[in-house]
Amino acid sequence: MKWDISNMSEWTVEDFPHAAIIPESGNSDDYNVGGWRSERPYRDDEVCTHCMLCWIFCPDTAVVVKDEKVVDFDLAHCKGCGICANECPTNPKFGKSAIEMVPEGCELPGVK
Amino acid sequence: MANQKTIAETGNVLVAQAMRQCKPDVMAAYPITPQTTIVEEFAKYVAQGRCHTEYVTVESEHSAMSACVGASAAGARVMTATCSQGLALMWEELYIAAGMRLPIVMANANRALSAPINIHCDHSDAMGARDAGWIMLFAETAQEAYDNTIMSVRIAEHSDVLLPVMTCLDGFITTHSVDRADIFDDDTVAEFVGEYVPAYALLDTDNPSSHGNFSGLGGPYFEFKKQQRLAIDASMAVIKSVGAEFSELSGRPFDVVEGWGMEDAEVVIVVIGSSAGNVRHVARGLRAQGIKAGVLKIRVFRPFPAAEVAAALVGVKAIAVMDRSESFGAEGGPLYLEVRSALYDSSERLPVVDYIYGLGGSDVRLELIERVYSDLADIASGSMAPFGMTYLGTR
Ligand code: SF4
Ligand code: SF4
């Protein structure tokens, strides 16, 4: 059963599991933990070969894949570490790699 | 009462024996005088295959306590030992161990803190850590060090408590002197302490849990601290009941404060650790001369047994606290502050004075203790005014 924390703001001392222990796995799914990112990855779909290296290397499993294609970044969990951009190989056809790190809040197409 | 064997051993060997008998899963430790022979002895048991403990040799005490925190969160019964600079180096993990509610048991071989460099006994190390959230027991003798170690496991792991316990014995005086002690056989101790069943364990993959978490920006940090306060307050009843059970088993009395001559005492010394023996010796001599001397030994310092101290001191005429550590700039040493505070709500206003003594292993000769009682007699009779804090026996 999923740990019900829906009314955590109402909890008192007695309600919290001791020592801030989280008694289930994977519940960061429920949280936006990407709030302190200063750069975000921007992927050019034309340049991307869907080699999946970014998906393999992302430490936050924030690369979203659908039908064996990279489709998006999960910005609620991406920390902006840039590992994906670093690992993304140069596509010789374009002379560049598909991922570029762009400052948070910039107005690039498809980034907002 | 369980079968026991009388042996002659040093305090440190007795602590190592007690630890072995409690069957820790993990021991992570770094040697430091005068704790060294505890971990050396324990390492020998591991090498001899006399316990199943995973012995982790680390590069510092900072790492020792870090390894203990990790192992305890993983679900292991964990022990370590340290003192002085080593305890100081553990400072941040002491708070983490308590905040994570990990029932680690640690022996501390009380030793002075630098500077100047000094390897001898005082209580500055433990007292410096008194607000870290650990339960703190103090031993007068090697026997008490052995007993406290075994009781600590039960206290720490109790579901109402789940806090680390520091079990202190005086460096060299208790750690290195050969003393007479009665010890249990291994099975008796194993049965007394039982198995540790952690409520949440990292290695319990069927019930995954996450430990040491961030409490959030503006999150419930305050609530977790109150949980800790409630737990250490609740530990007093647990300490008493575990102590009573242990007493039954050992035939040795245990109380959070232990009085001598307190029934009708007029002049009383409150003391912690090995000096209690000398104080009792002097008090016994004074009793023979018709002076109503008493001794109040503090065996549990955290949680502080304030109510028990206040109750024991009812009807006394003058009280001296002996502090083997400083709280520089405060009104007196740590024990003095606690005792005075404990007495604040008493209906009678009792004169309490503080003697800082024995720092860095400075000798606590019987004449010094006699002087304390003689000051107390003067304070009780009104011929001397209570003077607050003084140093006892400096040149
Ligand atoms: S590493 Fe680059 S090319 Fe490979 S899938 Fe990711 S974005 Fe596309
Ligand atoms: S920036 Fe880092 S966290 Fe974000 S998608 Fe790339 S690798 Fe993952």
What's the A35 CA to ligand 1 centre distance in angstroms? Answer: 24
Per-residue pLDDT of chain B (395 residues; tens, 9 = 90+): 889 999 999 999 999 999 999 999 999 999 999 999 999 999 999 999 999 999 999 999 999 999 999 999 999 999 999 999 999 999 999 999 999 999 999 999 999 999 999 999 999 999 999 999 999 999 999 999 999 999 999 999 999 999 999 999 999 999 999 999 999 999 999 999 999 999 999 999 999 999 999 888 788 999 999 999 999 999 999 999 999 999 999 999 999 999 999 999 999 999 999 999 999 999 999 999 999 999 999 999 999 999 999 999 999 999 999 999 999 999 999 999 999 999 999 889 999 999 999 999 999 999 999 999 999 999 999 999 999 999 999 99
Strand partners, B267: B293, B318
Q: What is the pLDDT, as a whole number, of residue B217?
A: 78
pTM of the model: 0.91
Q: Which residue type is seen at B175?
A: T
What's the A29 CA to ligand 1 centre distance in angstroms? Answer: 23
What confidence category does residue A106 fall into, taking pLDDT thresholds of 50, 70 and 90?
A: low
Domains of chain B: 4-180+223-250 (3.40.50.970), 257-391 (3.40.50.920)
Per-residue tokens: A3: 């740990």
B171 neighbors B42 (Cβ within 8 angstroms)? no
Q: Which of B164, B143, B147, B146 is nearest to B155 (CA)?
A: B164
ipTM: 0.85
Contact B213 A24 (CB under 8 A): no
Tens-digit pLDDT profile for residues A68-103: 999 999 999 999 999 999 999 999 999 999 999 999
Of residues B238 and A112, which shows the higher confidence score?
B238
Domains of chain A: 41-112 (3.30.70.20)
CA distances from B324 to B32, B182, B201, B273, B392 (A): 20, 28, 39, 9, 10
- Residue B210, chain A, CB below 8 Å: the answer is yes
Please report the atom of ligand 2 found closest to the CA of residue A73. Answer: 5
Question: Could you tell me whether strands B4-10 and B165-170 are parallel, antiparallel, or unpaired per DSSP bridges?
Answer: unpaired
Please count the other Cβ atoms lying within 10 Å of the Cβ belonging to residue A36. Answer: 8
Strand partners, B257: B298
Q: What is the pLDDT, as a whole number, of residue A60?
A: 93
B32 neighbors B81 (Cβ within 8 angstroms)? no
Nearest CA to ligand 2 atom 6: A84
Q: Does the beta carbon of A34 lie inside 6 Å of ligand 2?
A: no
Q: Which residue type is seen at B27?
A: M
**B346 secondary structure, DSSP code:** S
Tell me how close the Cα of A8 comes to any Cα of chain B, in angstroms: 10
What's the A81 CA to ligand 2 centre distance in angstroms? Answer: 5
Strand partners, B356: B323, B391
CA distance B28 to B46: 12
Burial class (CB in 10 A: 0-12, 13-18, 19+), B384: middle
Angle, helix B11-21 to helix B142-157, in steps of 10 degrees = 30
What confidence category does residue A4 fall into, taking pLDDT thresholds of 50, 70 and 90?
A: confident
Residue-by-residue DSSP string for B109-158? EE-PPSSSP--S--SHHHHHTTTSS-EEEE-SSHHHHHHHHHHHHHHHH-
User: Element (H or E) spanning B273, and its range?
Assistant: none
Q: What is the pLDDT, as a whole number, of residue A107?
A: 61
Per-residue tokens: B107: 């022996």
The shortest CB-CB distance from B224 to any of A12, A20, A25 is to: A20
Q: What is chain A's alpha carbon radius of gyration, rounded to the nearest angstrom?
A: 18
In the numeric block, the tokens 């194993």 are attached to: B190
Q: What is the pLDDT, as a whole number, of residue A2?
A: 67
CA distance B193 to B60: 29
User: Element (H or E) spanning B386, and its range?
Assistant: none
Tell me how close the Cα of A10 comes to any Cα of chain B, in angstroms: 11
Phi, psi values for residue B340, rounded to 5°: -60, -40
In the numeric block, the tokens 């975000």 are attached to: A40
Q: What is the pLDDT, as a whole number, of residue A31?
A: 81
Phi, psi values for residue B268, rounded to 5°: -130, 135
Per-residue tokens: B30: 């770094």
Question: What residues of chain A have any CB closer than 8 angstroms to a CB in chain B?
Answer: 11-13, 16-25
Q: Which of B266, B303, B314, B259 is nearest to B286 (CA)?
A: B266
Per-residue tokens: B43: 């390492």
Q: What is the three-class DSSP state of B263?
A: coil
Query: What sections of chain B are H helices per DSSP?
Result: 11-21, 36-47, 61-74, 84-89, 91-99, 124-128, 142-157, 186-193, 221-250, 275-288, 306-312, 334-343, 366-381
Please count the other Cβ atoms lying within 10 Å of the Cβ belonging to residue B47. Answer: 9
Q: Does the beta carbon of A47 lie inside 6 Å of ligand 2?
A: no
Strand partners, B168: B108, B138
User: Element (H or E) spanning B257, and its range?
Assistant: strand B257-260
**B25 secondary structure, DSSP code:** S
B94 neighbors B132 (Cβ within 8 angstroms)? yes
Q: What is the pLDDT, as a whole number, of residue A32?
A: 85
Peptide bond into B385 cis (omega under 30): no
B239 neighbors B300 (Cβ within 8 angstroms)? yes
What confidence category does residue A108 fall into, taking pLDDT thresholds of 50, 70 and 90?
A: low
CA distance B164 to B302: 11
Q: Please report the sign of the dihedral spanned by the C-alpha atoms of residue A24, residue A29, residue A33, residue A38.
A: positive
Per-residue tokens: B211: 């430990």
Q: What is the three-class DSSP state of B352?
A: strand
Per-residue tokens: A63: 């690369």
User: Element (H or E) spanning A83, and its range?
Assistant: helix A83-87
Please report the atom of ligand 2 found closest to the CA of residue A61. Answer: 8
